Chains A and B, each alone.
Chain A
């Protein structure tokens, strides 16, 4: 099978070369979403193998990269789906749904407690996407795992909410609550780590 490379030249489709062209991009993509090196590598390998076996079906229409990322996306979601299904409720952390986390933010009347949101300078221009993820790394780790995972799939992968509900076996209202808690927890953690002043000139 002959494929044009990025410079438009024709070359034989060769495994080594394929890994060289796509490996790092796929790895970066997976790493941002699963934040575990070994897992990211496994997912990239699964993706390349699946694509390699189906390469005849990819007729060079559209971009090869887009096709590969599409497969990887599916693998990432499948991984979480499996993990959620297999994870017994007892294996979840004591604060799996973030109840305690929310209780630290709001009193029994639902009003802000001692850690009220502070004034922030708009951080959007101070950070590019990569720097933001580096900042976020620490705070995502501090969230209950399922909250962080569901939130990442929704916010980064833009997976359809209904699909996540099905995978988790929860209602839409439940998912919205989880996502909200993840946002609230991240916001507070980022603030504690000086995120609010990043946007100052």
Chain B
């Protein structure tokens, strides 16, 4: 029987690699009995989905974040113009 620390490691590993059959069985057996690891496992799945959402933000939302940080456009444009002079 796996302990909770090992079980949560496997819950996380599911996003990184394919678990072996034995690992899957041990994992399922543990979360059937342990509400805490069951919650953990479900919640990191939700977080994973939210990360995916955040990593694929549409351009207009990215621009909204960028606009809040005053980007020195003049300096940037100057840096580009300088390239052409070299």
Contact partner of A65 (CB less than 8 A), chosen from B4, B8, B43, B59, is: B59
Asked if B22 is at the interface (CB within 8 A of a chain A CB), the reply is no
A49 in the interface (beta carbon within 8 A): yes
Q: Which residues of B contact A180 (CB under 8 A)?
A: 8-9, 12-13
**Interface residue from A48, A116, A136 paired with B76 (Cβ < 8 Å):** A48
A155 with B16: CB separation less than 8 A = no
With A25-B63, A157-B55: A110-B44 Cβ-Cβ less than 8 Å? no
- Contact present for B71 and A24 (CB under 8 Å): yes
Range of interface residues on B (Cβ < 8 Å): 35 or more
Contact yes or no, B64 A28, CB < 8 A: yes
Q: Is the CB of B57 within 8 A of A28?
A: yes
Query: Which applies to chain A's interface (DSSP): helix, strand, loop or mixed?
Result: helix
Give chain A residues whose Cβ lies under 8 Å from the Cβ of B37: 112, 117
Mark B residues whose CB is within 8 Å of A: 3-6, 8-9, 12-13, 16-17, 36-37, 39-40, 42-44, 46-51, 53-57, 59, 61-67, 69, 71-73, 75-81, 83
